[in-house]
Amino acid sequence: MRPGILTTTCLAAATLLLLGGCLSSSDQASRYFLAEKLPPRSVEQVEILRTPPIAPFEIIAEFQSRGESASDMQRKAAPLGADAVIVVLAGGFRATNAEWASDSITSDTYTRIIGTAIRYIRKN
């Protein structure tokens, strides 16, 4: 292999690795609030809510992230035994091809997202 081709190949590989890292989520934070561990649920059993429910509930955990979707929050809440996850998008809705402060978004991904995993309080 000639030196020019080797350099070009290495630069192309490094660029792809960097771009791949940019497309994944970042700035993740999670907090768990319960003393006990709940049995996991399937992802399909976890509701995605945009506002807190009227029914009484208890907060299990909170997830904050950048570059994830409501479905990602649902997948994080399921292993914790959540009945639902309340999803809040920070930064507002923008066109999917918009770019602001070097944060670009895609169809179901927003600049900041917060998911609050909850379980309903059932009366005996």
Q: Per-residue pLDDT tens for 68-114?
A: 889 999 999 999 999 999 999 876 555 555 555 444 444 444 568 89
Q: With contact defined as beta carbons under 8 Å apart, do 83 and 22 qualify?
A: no
Token readout for 29 is: 């934070």
Torsion angles phi and psi, residue 20, rounded to 5 = -60, -40
- Say how far apart CA 117 and CA 86 lie, in whole Å: 7
Model's pTM, two decimal places?
Answer: 0.65
